[in-house]
Structure 1
C-alpha cells in the first residue's frame, strides 16, 4: 500500500495514537538491547543484567551496564521520523505511546504519554521507589562495576527506571495507553511504527484501536506479527516514510 493511502486516512482523523517500537530508534543508531552487549559486556547474558535478581545480587555490576547504555543513547540524535511526528502534532491531536526506553521522541519535540517499558532516564530508588532526579555519572568507557547513586530519602541504591524481565509494566502508563486507544473512534488513526508485534501486552494494543473503530496503519520495512490486523501497511523505514507521510498531508 502507498503513503498516499495512509495520508488519506490521516486527513480525516480527529485523533492519532502512535505506537512506536525499536525500529523507530534504530535508524538513529540507538543500540538494541543485545547490541549494547559489546566489548566488555559481550560475554554476559542479558538476562544477568536485566532482572530484579541480577540487581539484588550485584547492583554495581548492573548499574555499570545501564550507565553505559545511557551514554550510548545520549550520543545519538532523533531521526527524521521522530521529527516528522513532532511536526504532525502541530496539525493533529497526536498521542505517543512508546516501547522504547530512550528519550528521542522528547528531544525531537514531541510529548510522550507513556513509556510502557520504562525509561533509561527516569531513575528511582530500588528500595522505596522514590524518583531520583539528580545527575548520574556516565562512564566515557565501559566499566564492569560502578556504584549506583544513593537515594536521598532512604539511602537505598538508585536503579534504572526500565522494566526488567519478570516485572510488571508501569500500571499508570499502561492504563493511560489503553484509555487513549479506547478513546479512538471511526475515522481516527493508530500509527504502528517500527514494532515487531512480538512482545505482549504491547503487541495487543493495535487490536484495541481497531476494536474502537480506528484505522490501523503500520509503518515497517518488514512484515511483523501484527501486519495482518492492520488496515493499511506501508513498507518503509520510519525515518523515510514518516516525513513522506507528513509531506503528503500538505
Structure 2
C-alpha cells in the first residue's frame, strides 16, 4: 500500500483531527516562502539591497530603535495577509469533520485558518492581527484595526504608526519574535490550554502536519508529541518529510497537491 493510500485509510477512520501547520501551508495561497535569505529577498527586493534577512527584521528591538523599519516589515505583512485568500486545501480539511471535532496548532501568525472558517486555532507564536503595547504599560491585547502606509521603495512605514490606546506610545504586533522577552502570551496560552483539554478527551486522534520545517521546529515537535502514543501522524512536506523512528506516514509533497489527492 502506498503512503498516500495509508494516509487516506488513516483519515477515513479518524475519530478526531489535529492539524499542525507551519509556514509551508501558506505557499499554495501565494504567500512568500521565507526559507533561506534568497527566498525572502525574492519576495522583498528592498531588503536584499539592504542585506537584511528575515531573522534580522523579525527582531523586537527594531520597534524601539527604528520603528519605521519595524512597522514597514510588519505593516506590509499585515496588508498581505488580509488580502490573501486561503487555498482550497483549507476547505478540504474542514470537510473532513470527524465526529470528535477538529483543532489546529500553528506557528503561523497570518490568520489563514480563521479566514478559512476554522473555529479552534491555537497560534503558538501569536497573531499579526493583534497588538500589544511596546512599553508594557498594559498587558492588554487588542485587534489590529489599523492600516499602515508603507513606502514600497524603502519598505519603511509612514507615520503615524500604530499606538497604544492606554498610554499613546508605540504599539507592536502580538507576535513572538526572535529573542523576544516582552511578548504578551496570554491570548495564545488560552488557545493552547483549550487545545490541551480537547486532546485529553479526543479518541482515535489523527494528526496531519503540513509545511512545518526543522529550522523552527515548534510545529514538528508538537505533532510528534500529540501522536506519540499511536503513531497516527501524517507529515506532508516537500523538502523535510522524514519522521523520527518512522512513527507515522511521510509524504514528500506540497499541502494542496497532497490534500487534493488524499480526499479524492
Structure holding more helix per residue: 2
How many angstroms apart in 1 are the aligned matches of 2:27 and 2:244?
A: 20
How many angstroms apart in 2 are the aligned matches of 1:179 and 1:92?
A: 13
Change beyond 3 A, Cα 1:32–1:163:
farther
Q: How far apart are 1:228 and its partner, in Å?
A: 4.6
How many angstroms apart in 2 are the aligned matches of 1:133 and 1:239?
A: 30
**Match in the other structure for 1:101:** 109
**Match in the other structure for 1:41:** 47
Which secondary structure does the structure 2 equivalent of 1:68 belong to?
helix
Count of matched residue pairs: 246
How many angstroms apart in 2 are the aligned matches of 1:183 and 1:233?
A: 26
TM-score (ref. length: structure 2): 0.80
**Match in the other structure for 1:8:** 9
Of 163, 179, 187, 1:166 maps to 179
Q: Where does 1:87-236 land on structure 2 (aligned, <5 Å)?
A: 87-89=95-97, 93-126=101-134, 127=136, 128-133=138-143, 135-139=145-149, 141-142=151-152, 143-147=155-159, 148-167=161-180, 170=185, 172=189, 173-181=191-199, 183-185=201-203, 187-213=204-230, 215-224=232-241, 226=243, 228-236=245-253
Change beyond 3 A, Cα 1:114–1:190:
same
- List per-residue Cα deviations over 1:175-223 (Å, max 9, x = no partner): 44555555555x3211111111342443321232233435111122233
Change beyond 3 A, Cα 1:60–1:112:
farther
Which secondary structure does the structure 1 equivalent of 2:157 belong to?
coil
Q: How far apart are 1:238 and its partner, in Å?
A: 1.0
Change beyond 3 A, Cα 1:192–1:47:
closer
How many angstroms apart in 1 are the aligned matches of 2:158 and 2:89?
A: 35
**Structure 1 unaligned regions, length at least 5:** none
Q: How far apart are 1:102 and its partner, in Å?
A: 0.9
Q: How far apart are 1:28 and its partner, in Å?
A: 1.0
- Is the contact between residue 24 and residue 33 of structure 2 (CA under 8 Å) also seen in structure 1? no
**Match in the other structure for 2:85:** 77
- Is the contact between residue 197 and residue 226 of structure 1 (CA under 8 Å) also seen in structure 2? no
Change beyond 3 A, Cα 1:133–1:74:
closer
Change beyond 3 A, Cα 1:184–1:207:
farther
Change beyond 3 A, Cα 1:197–1:36:
closer
CA-based RMSD of the aligned residues comes to 2.7
Which secondary structure does the structure 2 equivalent of 1:97 belong to?
strand
Which secondary structure does the structure 2 equivalent of 1:129 belong to?
coil
- List per-residue Cα deviations over 1:142-163 (Å, max 9, x = no partner): 2423342121122121111221
